[in-house]
Amino acid sequence: DPVLRLAAIEKTYKKGKPGEVRVLRGAALSIDPGEVVALVAPSGAGKSTLLHIAGLLDTPDGGTVEIGGARMDTLSDRRRTAMRRSALGFVYQFHHLLPEFTAEENIALPQLANGAARAAARERARALLDSVGIADRAGHRPAALSGGEQQRVAFCRAMANAPRLLLADEPTGNLDPATSDRVFAALMQVVRDTGLSALIATHNLELAARMDRVVQLEDGLLREGAREQA
Ligand code: ADP
Ligand code: ADP
Protein backbone atom coordinates (compact mmCIF):
# COMPACT_ATOMS: atom_id res chain seq x y z
CA ASP A 1 0.00 0.00 0.00
CA PRO A 2 1.09 3.59 -0.49
CA VAL A 3 2.01 5.41 2.73
CA LEU A 4 -0.33 8.23 1.74
CA ARG A 5 -3.10 8.17 -0.79
CA LEU A 6 -5.30 11.16 -1.49
CA ALA A 7 -8.09 10.64 -4.01
CA ALA A 8 -10.52 13.17 -5.47
CA ILE A 9 -9.98 15.63 -2.62
CA GLU A 10 -12.42 18.54 -2.55
CA LYS A 11 -12.21 21.51 -0.20
CA THR A 12 -14.25 24.69 -0.30
CA TYR A 13 -14.11 27.47 2.29
CA LYS A 14 -17.21 29.57 3.08
CA LYS A 15 -19.43 27.28 1.08
CA GLY A 16 -22.54 29.06 -0.11
CA LYS A 17 -21.42 32.33 1.51
CA PRO A 18 -19.85 35.48 0.13
CA GLY A 19 -16.17 34.87 -0.42
CA GLU A 20 -16.62 31.16 -1.16
CA VAL A 21 -13.34 29.73 -2.36
CA ARG A 22 -13.02 26.27 -3.90
CA VAL A 23 -9.41 25.43 -3.06
CA LEU A 24 -9.14 21.74 -3.96
CA ARG A 25 -11.07 20.33 -6.93
CA GLY A 26 -10.35 16.64 -7.05
CA ALA A 27 -6.69 16.61 -6.03
CA ALA A 28 -5.02 13.19 -6.05
CA LEU A 29 -1.65 12.06 -4.78
CA SER A 30 -0.02 8.78 -3.88
CA ILE A 31 3.27 8.45 -1.99
CA ASP A 32 5.02 5.08 -1.82
CA PRO A 33 7.10 3.85 1.13
CA GLY A 34 10.47 5.58 1.08
CA GLU A 35 9.41 8.13 -1.50
CA VAL A 36 10.20 11.82 -0.97
CA VAL A 37 7.89 14.15 -2.88
CA ALA A 38 8.28 17.89 -3.41
CA LEU A 39 5.11 19.98 -3.36
CA VAL A 40 5.37 23.24 -5.26
CA ALA A 41 2.54 25.73 -5.38
CA PRO A 42 2.10 29.43 -6.00
CA SER A 43 1.08 31.35 -2.88
CA GLY A 44 -2.64 30.95 -2.17
CA ALA A 45 -2.97 27.81 -4.32
CA GLY A 46 -3.97 25.70 -1.30
CA LYS A 47 -0.66 24.22 -0.16
CA SER A 48 -1.48 24.62 3.54
CA THR A 49 -4.96 23.23 3.01
CA LEU A 50 -3.53 20.18 1.28
CA LEU A 51 -0.88 19.63 3.99
CA HIS A 52 -3.51 19.96 6.71
CA ILE A 53 -5.72 17.36 5.02
CA ALA A 54 -2.78 15.00 4.46
CA GLY A 55 -1.75 15.63 8.09
CA LEU A 56 -5.21 14.79 9.43
CA LEU A 57 -5.61 18.27 10.88
CA ASP A 58 -8.53 19.04 8.60
CA THR A 59 -11.06 16.89 6.78
CA PRO A 60 -11.94 17.28 3.11
CA ASP A 61 -15.46 17.97 1.85
CA GLY A 62 -15.10 15.08 -0.55
CA GLY A 63 -12.64 12.37 -1.53
CA THR A 64 -10.64 9.89 0.52
CA VAL A 65 -7.53 10.04 2.68
CA GLU A 66 -5.66 6.79 3.30
CA ILE A 67 -2.54 6.15 5.37
CA GLY A 68 -0.96 2.75 4.88
CA GLY A 69 -4.11 1.60 3.09
CA ALA A 70 -6.47 2.54 5.95
CA ARG A 71 -9.18 5.17 5.54
CA MET A 72 -8.59 8.22 7.74
CA ASP A 73 -11.44 10.51 6.70
CA THR A 74 -13.99 8.18 8.33
CA LEU A 75 -12.18 7.83 11.69
CA SER A 76 -13.41 9.42 14.91
CA ASP A 77 -11.56 12.55 16.02
CA ARG A 78 -9.93 10.59 18.81
CA ARG A 79 -8.54 7.89 16.54
CA ARG A 80 -7.46 10.45 13.97
CA THR A 81 -5.49 12.33 16.66
CA ALA A 82 -3.88 9.09 17.81
CA MET A 83 -2.90 8.35 14.22
CA ARG A 84 -1.50 11.87 13.80
CA ARG A 85 0.67 11.47 16.88
CA SER A 86 2.01 8.04 16.02
CA ALA A 87 2.25 7.99 12.21
CA LEU A 88 2.90 11.58 11.16
CA GLY A 89 5.63 14.12 11.74
CA PHE A 90 5.36 17.84 11.02
CA VAL A 91 8.01 20.46 10.31
CA TYR A 92 7.16 24.09 9.63
CA GLN A 93 8.99 27.10 8.23
CA PHE A 94 9.25 28.49 11.76
CA HIS A 95 10.25 25.95 14.34
CA HIS A 96 7.46 26.36 16.96
CA LEU A 97 9.74 24.87 19.62
CA LEU A 98 8.68 25.45 23.21
CA PRO A 99 10.96 28.26 24.44
CA GLU A 100 11.12 27.19 28.09
CA PHE A 101 12.32 23.67 27.27
CA THR A 102 15.71 22.47 26.07
CA ALA A 103 16.28 20.90 22.65
CA GLU A 104 16.30 17.46 24.23
CA GLU A 105 13.08 18.14 26.16
CA ASN A 106 11.32 19.47 23.05
CA ILE A 107 12.06 16.15 21.34
CA ALA A 108 11.20 14.04 24.40
CA LEU A 109 7.78 15.66 24.98
CA PRO A 110 5.90 14.17 22.01
CA GLN A 111 7.26 10.76 22.99
CA LEU A 112 5.99 11.17 26.57
CA ALA A 113 2.60 12.26 25.17
CA ASN A 114 2.65 9.05 23.14
CA GLY A 115 3.32 6.90 26.22
CA ALA A 116 7.12 6.54 26.14
CA ALA A 117 9.14 6.17 29.35
CA ARG A 118 11.23 9.19 30.37
CA ALA A 119 14.64 7.53 30.03
CA ALA A 120 13.83 6.05 26.62
CA ALA A 121 12.47 9.39 25.38
CA ARG A 122 15.63 11.17 26.48
CA GLU A 123 17.85 8.56 24.86
CA ARG A 124 15.98 8.77 21.57
CA ALA A 125 16.11 12.58 21.66
CA ARG A 126 19.89 12.42 22.07
CA ALA A 127 20.25 9.92 19.22
CA LEU A 128 18.14 12.10 16.92
CA LEU A 129 20.17 15.21 17.77
CA ASP A 130 23.31 13.22 17.07
CA SER A 131 21.94 12.12 13.67
CA VAL A 132 21.64 15.75 12.56
CA GLY A 133 25.02 16.72 14.01
CA ILE A 134 24.01 18.75 17.05
CA ALA A 135 24.33 16.30 19.96
CA ASP A 136 26.27 19.03 21.80
CA ARG A 137 23.19 21.30 21.76
CA ALA A 138 20.91 18.92 23.72
CA GLY A 139 20.79 21.11 26.83
CA HIS A 140 20.24 24.43 25.04
CA ARG A 141 16.94 26.25 24.88
CA PRO A 142 15.75 27.37 21.42
CA ALA A 143 16.80 31.00 21.98
CA ALA A 144 20.39 29.85 22.45
CA LEU A 145 20.42 28.02 19.11
CA SER A 146 21.05 29.32 15.59
CA GLY A 147 18.21 29.27 13.04
CA GLY A 148 19.67 26.20 11.37
CA GLU A 149 20.03 24.43 14.70
CA GLN A 150 16.45 25.30 15.64
CA GLN A 151 15.17 23.75 12.40
CA ARG A 152 17.26 20.62 13.03
CA VAL A 153 15.68 20.32 16.48
CA ALA A 154 12.20 20.86 14.98
CA PHE A 155 12.95 18.07 12.52
CA CYS A 156 14.11 15.78 15.37
CA ARG A 157 10.86 16.54 17.20
CA ALA A 158 8.92 15.56 14.07
CA MET A 159 10.90 12.29 14.04
CA ALA A 160 10.38 11.67 17.76
CA ASN A 161 7.65 9.06 17.47
CA ALA A 162 9.18 7.37 14.41
CA PRO A 163 6.53 8.54 11.92
CA ARG A 164 5.75 6.78 8.66
CA LEU A 165 5.24 10.04 6.84
CA LEU A 166 6.92 13.39 7.27
CA LEU A 167 4.97 16.50 6.24
CA ALA A 168 7.04 19.63 5.89
CA ASP A 169 6.07 23.17 4.95
CA GLU A 170 9.11 25.14 3.76
CA PRO A 171 11.27 23.47 6.42
CA THR A 172 14.32 25.57 5.56
CA GLY A 173 12.43 28.56 4.15
CA ASN A 174 13.51 31.05 6.82
CA LEU A 175 17.23 30.24 6.57
CA ASP A 176 19.87 31.87 4.40
CA PRO A 177 20.66 29.86 1.24
CA ALA A 178 23.90 28.27 2.49
CA THR A 179 22.38 27.24 5.84
CA SER A 180 19.21 26.05 4.10
CA ASP A 181 21.31 23.84 1.87
CA ARG A 182 23.24 22.31 4.77
CA VAL A 183 20.16 21.76 6.95
CA PHE A 184 18.21 20.28 4.05
CA ALA A 185 21.07 17.88 3.29
CA ALA A 186 21.19 16.78 6.94
CA LEU A 187 17.43 16.19 7.06
CA MET A 188 17.44 14.27 3.77
CA GLN A 189 20.24 12.06 5.04
CA VAL A 190 18.14 11.01 8.05
CA VAL A 191 15.01 10.61 5.91
CA ARG A 192 16.93 8.35 3.51
CA ASP A 193 18.61 6.39 6.32
CA THR A 194 15.25 5.68 7.96
CA GLY A 195 13.47 4.95 4.67
CA LEU A 196 10.88 7.55 5.61
CA SER A 197 8.29 8.87 3.16
CA ALA A 198 7.90 12.62 2.95
CA LEU A 199 5.83 15.38 1.38
CA ILE A 200 7.85 18.58 1.47
CA ALA A 201 6.44 21.91 0.31
CA THR A 202 9.09 24.24 -1.05
CA HIS A 203 9.49 27.22 -3.37
CA ASN A 204 13.13 26.26 -3.90
CA LEU A 205 13.34 24.34 -7.18
CA GLU A 206 16.91 23.26 -6.48
CA LEU A 207 15.76 21.52 -3.30
CA ALA A 208 12.72 20.13 -5.13
CA ALA A 209 14.99 18.62 -7.76
CA ARG A 210 16.82 16.67 -5.05
CA MET A 211 13.63 14.82 -4.13
CA ASP A 212 12.26 11.76 -5.93
CA ARG A 213 9.34 13.51 -7.55
CA VAL A 214 7.82 16.95 -7.89
CA VAL A 215 4.09 17.63 -7.83
CA GLN A 216 2.58 21.02 -8.58
CA LEU A 217 -0.64 22.27 -7.01
CA GLU A 218 -2.52 24.44 -9.47
CA ASP A 219 -6.20 25.18 -10.06
CA GLY A 220 -7.13 22.82 -7.22
CA LEU A 221 -5.38 19.84 -8.80
CA LEU A 222 -2.01 18.15 -8.39
CA ARG A 223 0.10 17.59 -11.47
CA GLU A 224 3.37 15.74 -11.84
CA GLY A 225 6.38 17.92 -12.62
CA ALA A 226 7.22 21.54 -11.86
CA ARG A 227 6.94 24.61 -14.02
CA GLU A 228 9.79 27.09 -14.23
CA GLN A 229 8.05 29.91 -12.39
CA ALA A 230 7.05 27.85 -9.34
P1 ADP B 1 -1.38 28.41 0.47
O2 ADP B 1 -0.87 27.65 1.64
O3 ADP B 1 -1.06 27.77 -0.85
O4 ADP B 1 -0.98 29.85 0.48
P5 ADP B 1 -4.01 28.07 1.70
O6 ADP B 1 -4.28 26.62 1.69
O7 ADP B 1 -3.58 28.70 2.96
O8 ADP B 1 -2.98 28.39 0.51
O9 ADP B 1 -5.30 28.86 1.19
C10 ADP B 1 -5.87 28.64 -0.10
C11 ADP B 1 -7.01 29.63 -0.30
O12 ADP B 1 -8.05 29.38 0.63
C13 ADP B 1 -6.62 31.06 -0.14
O14 ADP B 1 -7.36 31.82 -1.07
C15 ADP B 1 -7.06 31.38 1.28
O16 ADP B 1 -7.34 32.74 1.42
C17 ADP B 1 -8.28 30.52 1.44
N18 ADP B 1 -8.47 30.04 2.83
C19 ADP B 1 -7.62 29.30 3.54
N20 ADP B 1 -8.10 29.00 4.76
C21 ADP B 1 -9.32 29.59 4.81
C22 ADP B 1 -10.34 29.65 5.81
N23 ADP B 1 -10.19 29.04 7.01
N24 ADP B 1 -11.46 30.33 5.52
C25 ADP B 1 -11.62 30.93 4.32
N26 ADP B 1 -10.71 30.91 3.33
C27 ADP B 1 -9.56 30.25 3.57
P1 ADP C 1 -0.59 17.32 21.25
O2 ADP C 1 -1.89 17.57 21.96
O3 ADP C 1 0.25 16.24 21.84
O4 ADP C 1 0.19 18.56 20.94
P5 ADP C 1 -2.04 17.18 18.77
O6 ADP C 1 -2.94 16.04 18.50
O7 ADP C 1 -2.60 18.50 19.11
O8 ADP C 1 -0.99 16.69 19.85
O9 ADP C 1 -1.09 17.36 17.51
C10 ADP C 1 -0.44 16.28 16.93
C11 ADP C 1 0.50 16.83 15.89
O12 ADP C 1 -0.19 17.71 15.00
C13 ADP C 1 1.63 17.62 16.50
O14 ADP C 1 2.82 17.30 15.80
C15 ADP C 1 1.24 19.07 16.28
O16 ADP C 1 2.39 19.86 16.08
C17 ADP C 1 0.41 19.01 15.02
N18 ADP C 1 -0.67 20.01 15.04
C19 ADP C 1 -1.70 20.05 15.90
N20 ADP C 1 -2.54 21.07 15.62
C21 ADP C 1 -2.01 21.71 14.54
C22 ADP C 1 -2.40 22.84 13.74
N23 ADP C 1 -3.50 23.53 13.97
N24 ADP C 1 -1.62 23.19 12.70
C25 ADP C 1 -0.52 22.50 12.44
N26 ADP C 1 -0.10 21.41 13.14
C27 ADP C 1 -0.81 21.02 14.18
- What is the Å distance from ligand 1's center to 88 Cα? 22
**pLDDT at residue number 81:** 92
- Would the CB of 23 count as within 6 Å of ligand 1? yes
Question: pLDDT tens across 89-145, in order?
Answer: 999 999 899 999 999 999 999 999 999 999 999 999 999 999 999 999 999 999 999
Query: ipTM of the assembly?
Result: 0.69
Atom of ligand 2 lying closest to residue 56 CA: 12
- What is the Å distance from ligand 1's center to 11 Cα? 10
Atom of ligand 1 lying closest to residue 41 CA: 3
Question: pLDDT tens across 169-220, in order?
Answer: 999 999 999 999 999 999 999 999 999 999 999 999 999 999 999 999 999 9
Predicted structure pTM score: 0.89
**pLDDT at residue number 228:** 52
Q: Nearest C-alpha to atom 9 of ligand 1 is from which residue?
A: 46
**pLDDT at residue number 227:** 55
Q: Nearest C-alpha to atom 24 of ligand 1 is from which residue?
A: 13
Q: Nearest C-alpha to atom 16 of ligand 2 is from which residue?
A: 90
Residues 47-64, mean pLDDT to the nearest whole number: 96
Atom of ligand 1 lying closest to residue 14 CA: 25
- Would the CB of 120 count as within 6 Å of ligand 2? no
Atom of ligand 2 lying closest to residue 157 CA: 14
Q: How confident is the model at residue 77 (pLDDT cuts 50, 70, 90)?
A: very high
Reply yes or no on whether the pLDDT at 160 is more than 60. Answer: yes
Question: pLDDT tens across 32-46, in order?
Answer: 999 999 999 999 999
- Would the CB of 5 count as within 6 Å of ligand 2? no
**pLDDT at residue number 225:** 83
Reply yes or no on whether the pLDDT at 229 is more than 50. Answer: no
- Would the CB of 216 count as within 6 Å of ligand 1? no
- Would the CB of 8 count as within 6 Å of ligand 2? no
How high is the mean pLDDT of the chain? 95
Q: What is the C-alpha to C-alpha distance for residues 223 and 33, in angstroms, rounded to an integer?
A: 20
